[in-house]
Amino acid sequence: MARATSDVEQLRNFTGRGLLLLGQFAFMAVGITIVLLLMNWKLALVSALMFPFLAHTVVRYNQAAQPLFYQVQEALARLASVTQENLAGAKVVKAFVREEDEIAKFDAQNALLEAQYIGAAEVQSFGNPLMDMIGNLGTLIVIWFGGYLIMHGELSVGAFVAFNTYLLMMVRPVRRLGFLINQTSRAIAAGERIFEILDAPIDVQDAPEAMPLPAVRGEVVFDHVSVSYFGGEPVLRDVSFTVLPGQVVALLGASGSGKTTIVNLLPRFYDVSAGRVLIDGHDVRNVQLATLRGQIGIVLQDTALFTGSIRENIAYGLPDASDEDVIAMARAARAHDFVMGFPGGYDTRVGERGVTLSGGQKQRIAIARALLMDPRILILDDFTSAVDSETEALIRAALDRLMQGRTTFVIAQRVSTIQHADQILVIDHGKLVGMGNHEELIESNSIYAEVYHLQLMDEAAPAELAPGSTVPADSSVPSPSGSGLG
């Protein structure tokens, strides 16, 4: 954010003002030099004696100032990061009584920024007067040599006054050279930071011969897929499965097992390290990203809403959608009732990242947003994580109808959410260790059976602890986390 604001502002100041002043200085320097040579070439050469010293000083000043201003921009970015984190995590800071520590962290970063500014100012305080002194010394030499020429009759007083007037016209910009070099150094440092982002390589982009993906039926094939992030340990190892059009596929596994990586390969948020991902026989790496992602609807675990109205957020993928379509999708996602409970209805502003909505409300808005695109492939990444059981049941009832005819990938932590899926994929440490429907996996897969029975026991625990019940002192209910699966 600091690069997108502070650094861009530094670059704007230079291009909007400093660059024009530098151009003006260069134009005047060339023009006045020609005039001075025509008036008296001897005096003009003497006036240029200090130019090498001035040029040397400018180069040294720029070499010293530019790294310092780069450090200033870096320190400013870190201070902005601390401020943003404290604003976003204000409740966490208060909950853990860390106000004083965060204030101290801010003060320390602010002091570091101050020290960087002072360091740059010290270089500036030495460089600017030195350039002024060199300019004034050049003027003094011109006056001395001009007087010598006048005394020997080689120059008239009027010509000398005119010469000196032209020279002063160039001395004034020279005195501002320190300010211009200062702005130039800051702009170069800011530009380096901006272009570090602009020039960053894009890992996933259209292949040179990529073709548009035609309307898909929804068949998905993972053909011996392996994935490694940044050349590290594989997070998926030789995963192969086939999903027929219209099937509902659920993924179950521990946190970090690779479930989210599998669904992220479909819209090419990442690329495979080995193997292929095929949609209707098309390798996703050989089709245009826009046509691929336009046929995939996604509801992520971390719901991201944008500052604006509820209507704008639901219609984010289709900005020209009619009000009727927006309301229909909100009804399907069980969002319409709570939306109409707001004074502004669908025009209600949700605030930054949807801060005015609860977790369950944001999740249902995200579901409506995905469904409005009428995708052939639907990805639900732990979509019920922020809703209660009653709301989950309502959403599931709506999705049962809306999933018809769509290939749907569901990631969920509760077996009750996925047990009716056509296929259930059990993922363990990046490997596909089980595949089948609920009944098949109960009989054939020990990991799935263990998770299922542990969750049944966990749900039965409240009934065992009801008033009037007795609990043996040594009894215990195993935690679902004991299996390594959430």
- Tens of pLDDT, residues 319-332: 888 889 999 888 88
12 and 112 part of one domain: yes
What are the tokens at 45? 């050469």
136 or 150, greater pLDDT: 150
* Whether the predicted pLDDT of 482 surpasses 50: no
Half-sphere exposure of 326 (CA within 13 A, CB side): 21
Residues 183 and 255 reside in one and the same domain: no
Return the pLDDT at 458: 59
Indicate whether 186 and 231 sit together in one domain: no
Per the CB < 8 A criterion, the answer to whether 412 and 330 are in contact is: no
- Name the pTM for this structure: 0.65
Which stretch of 94-108, 169-183, 243-257 has the lowest confidence by average pLDDT? Answer: 169-183
Q: Does one domain contain both 31 and 179?
A: yes
Paired residues of 377 in beta bridges: 296, 407
Q: What is the pLDDT of residue 477?
A: 35
Evaluate if residue 483 carries a pLDDT over 70: no
Rounded mean pLDDT, 225-244: 86
Least confident of 120-124, 130-134, 176-180, 241-245: 176-180
Together in a domain, 228 and 119: no
Within a domain: residue 436?
A: yes
* 308 phi-psi bin (left φ>0, alpha ψ -120 to 50, beta other): left
SS3 of the chain: helix, strand, coil, percent, to 5: 60, 15, 30
- Least confident range from 17-31, 165-179, 436-450: namely 165-179
Q: State the pLDDT at residue 386.
A: 57
Same domain assignment for residues 291 and 408: yes
Give per-residue pLDDT as tens, 401-459.
Answer: 667 778 989 887 777 677 778 898 988 888 888 888 888 888 888 887 888 777 766 55
What is the SS3 assignment for 47? helix
Confidence of residue 96 (pLDDT cuts 50, 70, 90): confident
The count of structural domains within the chain is: 2
Is residue 106 a contact partner of residue 75, using CB atoms and an 8 Å limit? Answer: no
Query: Measured between alpha carbons, how far is 111 from 365 in angstroms, rounded to an integer?
Result: 43
Note whether residue 240 is domain-resident.
yes
Q: 97 and 42, same structural domain?
A: yes
94 and 147 assigned to the same domain: yes
Position with higher pLDDT, 292 vs 303? 292
Number of H helices, E strands in the chain: 19, 10
For position 24, what pLDDT does the model report? 79
CATH code for position 423: 3.40.50.300
Q: Which of 409, 415, 405, 402 is nearest to 456 (CA)?
A: 415
pLDDT at 175 over 70: no
192-208 average pLDDT score:
82
Residue whose C-alpha is closest to residue 387's, from 412, 367, 361, 410: 361
How high is the pLDDT of residue 479? 37
Among 152, 168, 198, give the residue marking a domain's end: 198
* pLDDT averaged over every residue in the chain: 80
314 within a domain of the structure (yes/no): no
Q: What is the pLDDT of residue 464?
A: 45
Distance of alpha carbon 252 from alpha carbon 254, whole angstroms: 7
In a domain, residue 209? The reply is no
228 domain residue, yes or no: yes
The domain that contains 27 carries what CATH number? 1.20.1560.10
List the alpha helices (DSSP H) in 96-176: 99-151, 157-175
* Nearest to 6, CA basis, from 79, 104, 88: 79
Higher pLDDT, 219 or 255: 219
Residue 348 belongs to a domain: no
DSSP state of 276: E
The whole-angstrom separation of Cα 364 and Cα 335 is 6
- The answer to whether residue 252 scores a pLDDT higher than 60 is yes
pLDDT of residue 242: 92
Residues 187 and 229 in one domain: no
Q: Is residue 431 part of a domain?
A: yes
User: 65-70 contacts: CB < 8 A, separation 24 or more?
Assistant: 65/120, 65/123, 65/124, 65/127, 65/181, 65/182, 65/185, 66/185, 66/188, 66/189, 67/189, 68/116, 68/119, 68/120, 68/123, 69/120, 69/185, 69/186, 69/188, 69/189, 69/190, 70/189, 70/192, 70/193
Same domain membership, residue 254 and residue 192: no
215 in a structural domain: no
Q: Strands 282-283 and 274-279: what pairing?
A: antiparallel
**Alpha helices for 204-300 (secondary structure H):** 259-265, 289-293
pLDDT at 221: 93
pLDDT at residue 178, as a whole number:
63
**Does 118 score more than 90 pLDDT?**
no
Is 131 found in the same domain as 46?
Answer: yes
Q: Write out the residue range of the structural domain in which residue 259 sits.
A: 220-295+375-457
Residues 409 and 446 in one domain: yes
Question: So what's the pLDDT on residue 171?
Answer: 67
CA dihedral over 95, 96, 97, 101, signed as positive or negative: negative
